[in-house]
Amino acid sequence: MKRMVLVISAVSVFGALSGYSVELLNENYDAETVGNPPAADVVRPNANTSIIFTKVVDSGVNSAGSGNGVQMYDMDDGVVSTDGSAVMSYNFVASAGDQKSLVRADFSFSYLGGNTNEVAYITAGFGGYNEGLSLNSNGNRWNNMRLYDNGTVSFESDSGGDSSNIDVSPSNTSHTVTMFVNDLDSDSVNYIGLDGSTNSLSANGVSYWLDGALIFSTLLDQDDVTAGGTIGTSTNNFGKFGFSTGSSAVGLNYALDNLVVSSYDSVYVAPPDVPENIFYENFSDQIVGSQPVATAVRPSPPGSTAVAWCTVVNAADNPAGTGNGVNLYDNGTTSADIVSLEYNFVDFPEDQISALRFDLEFAYVTKAGPGDKFLALGFGQWDTDRTLNSNSRRYTDARFYNDGTIDFRRNGVSTNYPVSEDNIILPGANTLSIFVNDYDTQFVQYTGLDGDVYTLPTNSAAYWLNGNLIIMSNDVATNEYITMDLFDATADGEIWNTESNLGKFGFYSGSSEYDVNYVFDNFLITTNLLVDTFDEWLALFPALGADTNYLDDAEMDGMNNLQEYAFGGNPTVSDAELYAPTYNLREDGGTTWLNYVYHRRDNPATYGLTYNVYSDTDLVFGSMTTPTIEAGSSPSVSGFDVVTNRISTAASDQAFMQLQVEID
């Protein structure tokens, strides 16, 4: 065992929540009298007639469930009758002060026949607590499901998108609906779906499940007026649930049963268990039918063109993954039809990195084109305005073509050309993994998708399609990687002579692209690339030559090879001022502390390393053996934690701290 000793002398966890439901209302009508109105808070008509009624029915009529149910029947056009709507609504809390923000409603229904016009409908939705007010107007309902006269249903929103109509005929067939609503104004929540999956629901959002499957998610009607403001500016607005027909509706005939309203708590969802995961997006908390939340999205504004879009889609329209995804579609030929989706995956330019792995899932929706138009994917610099709309801004370049193939390209001095082209994209879900090394003097090792270790030279990228390494043509002897676009400009020079240039990734179609239609899902960026022992780490720096011993210091910056390995430095670059341990004095809670700050590999045992910081009051007698307090650590994006150990200065006029790093 080799021991290195350094001496320096000097005078928030997010708690997991369990998802659970508290039942607020349960109605199955078995204890109610057949032929009478149900015992709800508001029921209409005031007197049932032969052409309009809301009444309890027995199992001979109730095909929505077993035993008794409720039949809502409206053949009144509002001309003859003065009571032209059917209503059934329940306050599920005792007062307005007891209203909730996170609630779900479950009920069963069946279509009993009616007109075939798809004009009239029964609405089902939530509203605010009120003793007498029904949910017969949009302004009183915070969300809106519609059961149409022709045996179809839809889910509507004044603030978000609407679903297409879904056929629930034939008559007398039981169906189930579950609605999850989130009335919080700034926080998304997670809930357990009917299939046991964990799903995210955006602020002021609602998700609809039909017959056990997630069908549609959209926004609540955010402009609707509540007691405390509007849905979009206040919380705890949910206290009533009900059904209603319009005053002029005609031709409606449905059975309803098993109405349950309950509250729920958000469930904590951990990000993917991947070391150094710095970016993840699976669109589960995004509103279906809306543009995804990203740094830059086009077309802009949303809906400005009918031939191009970047839209969140639900599971039924996501062949790339499970749950929600994002559909990028471009069938236009003008600048207004350009489609883009871009993310800054670090917070600031100074947080940019030089080595990463990017994983995603994708599928083509159609491949109707001849293979001459494409959607480009690449990495570039962090920027809030500049997009990746040109080759010179994308340091890597993968192209998804309209014939269901993919190319991997690089820029030469004056042109962009394919290095691997016409790679076949399989029907359904595909995977793509990209490894990028932006270092100018350091090789990077990574574990490939086949489990083997690969070396990625300076300024290069490797692509894995469906678990297979793409072999490049006419690029390098090994054909296992592609050179980055070396002459593209960065903030401080060009790719080949600057590092830490990676801060954004994105997709972009040109103004002349068309017939391009892809769905993407599960974006994951990690910096967990290096899988090296000390000897493997040395091999990443061929410029070291024979200076490969623990104590060698080739560039004479005061840090030897073992220190560089332990603290994250580069043994061929004078960088001690960035990576050598430091100390400072800080006051905390009335006590002055001597802080010792150093970089530590985030999984030191994997590398055979042990870090310990000791202290003493003198350097003359004995050795330092008193452990110090680790005050905290902050993860970095390069495989190292920045760690602070400290000792109080109150007990002595002088103090010394010593970091011991041992390697097996």
User: What pLDDT does 268 receive?
Assistant: 57
Q: Which two tokens stand for residue 640?
A: 């190292």
What is the maximal distance between C-alpha atoms in the chain?
A: 106
What residues contact 67, with CB distance under 8 A and at least 6 apart? 28, 29, 30, 58, 59, 257
Would the pTM of this model clear 0.75, i.e. be above it? no
* Mean pLDDT across the chain: 86
User: What pLDDT does 227 receive?
Assistant: 87
Residue predicted with more confidence, 486 or 88 = 88
Distance separating the N- and C-terminal Cα atoms of the chain: 5
pLDDT for 380-395, tens place per residue? 999 877 678 777 788 9
Which of 649, 459, 639, 481 lies closest to 567, judged by CA? 639
Averaged over 622-634, what is the pLDDT?
84
Phi, psi of 112 (to 5 degrees): -105, 10
Residues constituting the chain: 664
Residue 592 confidence (pLDDT) above 50? yes
Q: Which two tokens stand for residue 350?
A: 């100074």
Quick check: 628 and 646 in contact, CB under 8 A?
Answer: yes
pLDDT band at 617 (very low <50, low <70, confident <90, very high): confident
Quick check: 5 and 658 in contact, CB under 8 A?
Answer: yes
Gyration radius of the chain's alpha carbons: 32
pLDDT for 259-301, tens place per residue? 999 998 877 555 555 556 789 999 988 888 889 999 999 997 7
Averaged over 339-343, what is the pLDDT?
94
pLDDT band at 10 (very low <50, low <70, confident <90, very high): very low
Whether a cis peptide bond, with omega within 30° of 0, leads into 301 is yes
Residue with tokens 């899902």: 521
Dihedral of alpha carbons 21, 27, 28, 30, sign:
positive
pLDDT band at 578 (very low <50, low <70, confident <90, very high): confident
Quick check: 131 and 239 in contact, CB under 8 A?
Answer: no
The alpha carbon of 462 is separated from its chain's Cα centroid by a whole number of angstroms, namely 25
Query: Within 13 Å, how many C-alpha atoms sit on residue 469's CB side?
Result: 22
| Count of CB atoms situated within 10 Å of the CB of 498 | 16
Residue predicted with more confidence, 189 or 31 = 31
Averaged over 495-500, what is the pLDDT?
89
Distance CA 193, CA 196 (A): 5
User: What pLDDT does 363 receive?
Assistant: 95
Q: Which two tokens stand for residue 496?
A: 């080949």
Three-point CA angle 169, 172, 174, nearest 5°: 80
